[in-house]
């Protein structure tokens, strides 16, 4: 089975907790704090493995969690940082954030990597909080909570040449004749249900990779038939071979087929029509094909070169493959995404900074504090120690939460809720 799109969950490792400890050695009075920092959590990294061809493995495992960092230890020993969790994907995989649809990475080269979730930093041990005013602090930090997200992995096959056309026009037959690939061939529509790749050799020793893609029909760009499921694979090809059935056995007009397929390519992605296109008039060994070809040539533009071919008898294949090889040699790779435009958007786009906290009211009248920044500070606070709680209170005051609660109408004794923790507001 060919799997080319999956949704997976990834979570980086949380940072290890810092430790509260003191030196206790013989003949060393007033040893002072000796609590080590926690280790960094592991990142989740996506890496290309050229030995893979599909995303099949992700059908059985869709959750990936990196290990957290180790906690700090006594004697100022820092906790060990965890190793990164490496997820292997085939070449041609695009990583997209599920929530924002932002393209995170486009991986094509062997061993190319992209970090999709970074591990949390380790919490500080009490050694870090020692000051002349407080030389023996009983204060430490919990590890930083790591991010989690859903990402979509989309595989777009890496081929120099892509075959497009209506079902049953002879694409699979062509690939089987010009390469060692053995795609399924049948006298019915949608025989090909997944892309097939084959290496095509030309007489002069040149070679290129050709992809037989499932047949397209009208409305494919909107998902009709196999639609967008396989249109995405055309995006990476440098040359498009447009296969047309000149026999007319299906009852369709070859010129109308030609126009409809090009319209589907245009509707799906305007840049697909920038690629050079070779028009292959197939099934020329069938009766009436020559008449259809003459009518077709009258309707198409003079700029379009049509190659009469019979994939079954190999008639006309040599000349067409030579032209395709020439186009592959002279056509540069088309970038999947316009990097310059992307950089400009990043530089000049104004992004409003998210508020560090928001305050709302629950049905029971309690004030609810929420926000990524305040929740992160809360999770990194060791609530079992008074000094840590006092430090958290000072941070809340510094962020302006006390004043914001007063403006919302909070009075002495009112309940304030932050995640699962509740406390009283005191004037």
Residue where one domain finishes, among candidates 330, 346, 379? 330
Which residues lie below 8 Å from residue 288, measured CB to CB, with a gap of 6+? 247, 248
Residue 154 to residue 195: CA distance in whole angstroms: 14
The residue to which tokens 């969950």 are assigned: 9
The verdict on 171 and 152 lying in the same domain is: no
Going by their DSSP bridges, the two strands 421-424 and 161-164 should be labelled as unpaired
For residue 179, say whether it is annotated as part of any ligand binding site. Answer: no
Domain-located, residue 370: yes
The verdict on 235 and 197 lying in the same domain is: yes
Domain-located, residue 342: no
The verdict on 177 and 248 lying in the same domain is: yes
The whole-number pLDDT of residue 230 equals: 52
For residue 190, say whether it is annotated as part of any ligand binding site. Answer: yes
Residue 329 to residue 376: CA distance in whole angstroms: 54
Domain-located, residue 335: no
The whole-number pLDDT of residue 80 equals: 96
Domain-located, residue 208: yes
The whole-number pLDDT of residue 85 equals: 96
Domain-located, residue 79: yes
For residue 284, say whether it is annotated as part of any ligand binding site. Answer: yes
CATH of the domain at 384: 3.30.300.350
For residue 11, say whether it is annotated as part of any ligand binding site. Answer: no
The first and second tokens of residue 296, run together, are 């077709």
Residue where one domain finishes, among candidates 97, 124, 156? 156
Phi-psi region of 382 (alpha: psi -120 to 50; beta: other; left: phi over 0): beta
Domain-located, residue 299: yes
Domain that holds residue 322: 167-330
For residue 165, say whether it is annotated as part of any ligand binding site. Answer: yes
The verdict on 141 and 10 lying in the same domain is: yes
The verdict on 87 and 172 lying in the same domain is: no
For residue 167, say whether it is annotated as part of any ligand binding site. Answer: yes
Whole-prediction pTM:
0.71
For residue 308, say whether it is annotated as part of any ligand binding site. Answer: no
CATH of the domain at 284: 3.40.50.300
Taking alpha carbons only, the member of 106, 85, 56 closest to residue 148 is 85
For residue 97, say whether it is annotated as part of any ligand binding site. Answer: no
Residue where one domain finishes, among candidates 129, 156, 183? 156
The verdict on 24 and 65 lying in the same domain is: yes
The verdict on 119 and 211 lying in the same domain is: no
The whole-number pLDDT of residue 158 equals: 73
The whole-number pLDDT of residue 357 equals: 87
For residue 168, say whether it is annotated as part of any ligand binding site. Answer: yes
The verdict on 173 and 219 lying in the same domain is: yes
The whole-number pLDDT of residue 88 equals: 94
For residue 54, say whether it is annotated as part of any ligand binding site. Answer: no
For residue 169, say whether it is annotated as part of any ligand binding site. Answer: yes
For residue 191, say whether it is annotated as part of any ligand binding site. Answer: yes
The verdict on 128 and 28 lying in the same domain is: yes
Q: Count the domains in the chain.
A: 3
The verdict on 126 and 197 lying in the same domain is: no
For residue 370, say whether it is annotated as part of any ligand binding site. Answer: no
CATH of the domain at 46: 2.70.210.12
Domain-located, residue 161: no
* Sheet with 85-89, side-by-side order of all strands: 85-89, 44-48, 113-117
The whole-number pLDDT of residue 16 equals: 96
For residue 170, say whether it is annotated as part of any ligand binding site. Answer: yes
Q: What is the mean pLDDT of each run of 10 residues along the chain (427 residues)?
A: 78 96 83 93 94 82 96 94 95 90 89 94 94 91 95 84 83 81 46 64 85 60 45 76 84 85 77 84 88 89 86 88 90 62 39 74 90 91 90 91 90 89 85
The whole-number pLDDT of residue 221 equals: 39
For residue 272, say whether it is annotated as part of any ligand binding site. Answer: no
The verdict on 29 and 147 lying in the same domain is: yes
The verdict on 31 and 152 lying in the same domain is: yes
For residue 311, say whether it is annotated as part of any ligand binding site. Answer: yes
For residue 173, say whether it is annotated as part of any ligand binding site. Answer: no
| Cβ neighbourhood burial of 378 (10 Å; 0-12, 13-18, 19+) | buried
Domain-located, residue 286: yes
């Amino acid at each position: 089975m060919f799997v080319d799109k999956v949704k997976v969950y990834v979570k980086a490792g949380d940072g290890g907790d810092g430790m509260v400890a003191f030196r206790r050695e013989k003949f060393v009075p007033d040893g002072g704090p000796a609590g080590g920092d926690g280790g960094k959590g592991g990142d989740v990294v996506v890496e290309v493995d050229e030995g893979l061809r599909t995303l099949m493995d992700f059908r059985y495992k869709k959750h990936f969690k990196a290990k957290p960092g180790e906690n700090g230890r006594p004697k100022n020993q820092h906790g060990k940082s965890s190793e990164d969790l490496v997820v292997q994907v085939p070449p041609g995989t695009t990583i997209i954030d599920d929530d924002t649809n932002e393209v995170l990475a486009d991986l094509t080269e062997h061993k190319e990597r992209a970090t999709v979730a970074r591990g949390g930093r380790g919490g500080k041990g009490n050694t870090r909080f020692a000051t002349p005013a407080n030389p023996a602090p009983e204060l430490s930090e919990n590890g930083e909570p790591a991010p989690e997200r859903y990402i979509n992995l989309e595989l777009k096959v890496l081929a120099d040449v892509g075959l497009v056309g209506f079902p049953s026009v002879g694409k699979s037959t062509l690939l089987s004749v010009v390469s060692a690939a053995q795609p399924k061939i049948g006298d019915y529509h949608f025989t090909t249900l997944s892309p097939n790749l084959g290496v095509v050799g030309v007489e002069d020793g040149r070679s290129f990779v050709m992809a037989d893609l499932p047949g397209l029909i009208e409305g494919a760009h909107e998902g009709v038939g196999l639609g967008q499921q396989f249109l995405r694979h055309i995006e990476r090809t440098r040359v498009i071979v447009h296969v047309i059935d000149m026999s007319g056995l299906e009852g369709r007009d070859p010129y109308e087929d030609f126009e409809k397929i090009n319209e589907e390519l245009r509707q799906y992605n305007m840049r697909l029509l920038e690629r050079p296109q070779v028009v292959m008039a197939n099934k020329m060994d069938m009766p009436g094909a020559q008449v259809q070809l003459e009518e077709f040539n009258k309707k198409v533009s003079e700029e379009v070169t049509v190659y009469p071919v019979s994939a079954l008898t190999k008639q006309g294949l040599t000349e067409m493959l030579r032209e395709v090889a020439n186009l592959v040699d002279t056509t540069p790779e088309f970038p999947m995404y316009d990097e310059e435009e992307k950089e400009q958007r990043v530089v000049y786009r104004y992004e409003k900074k998210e508020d560090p906290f928001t305050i709302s009211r629950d049905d029971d009248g309690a004030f609810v504090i929420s926000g990524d920044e305040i929740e992160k500070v809360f999770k990194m606070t060791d609530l079992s120690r008074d000094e840590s709680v006092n430090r958290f209170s000072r941070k809340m005051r510094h962020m302006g939460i006390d004043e914001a609660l007063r403006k919302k109408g909070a009075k002495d004794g009112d309940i304030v809720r932050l995640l699962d923790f509740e406390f009283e507001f005191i004037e």
